[in-house]
Amino acid sequence: MRVTAAHDVGKDINPLAVEGQIEGGVAMGIGYALMENLMLDQGKPLTPSLAEYILPTAKDVPPIVSIIVEDQEPTGPFGAKGVGEPATIPTAPAIINANYDAVGVRVMELPATPETVRRLLKGKDC
């Protein structure tokens, strides 16, 4: 398995930094889709430390192929565009859609844990 992520960065001023931003964004999207579950009680976190709040590690992230698309932004500094958060946005929906294509159930609430998918499969006429 691998992730291929193509992003329009405007002018690529620092290719290594841009690639790192894309890889970090993909890792964050994987966390949102599959692991991270911030539980609240009246606005107070029930998961107050990283011991309870699960984040992806290097072992959880597949190889990432970064495709840097350059279309300079005339209003950006030196023609650059932001790449940090935009790299996060498509990852979770792509994972959820891949899950749907694979098993035929649509997860509507994140994270899509194995337990959630199993519960949805039990409710489906297979």
Of the residues 23, 85, 109, 115, only one is catalytic, namely 85
Task: Tell me if residue 19 is catalytic.
Answer: no
CA distance 15 to 64: 15
> At how many degrees (to 10) do helices 91-103 and 114-122 cross?
40
| C-alpha dihedral (94, 103, 109, 23), degrees to nearest 10 | -30
Q: How many other β-carbons are positioned within 10 Å of the β-carbon of residue 12?
A: 18
Return the active site residues.
85
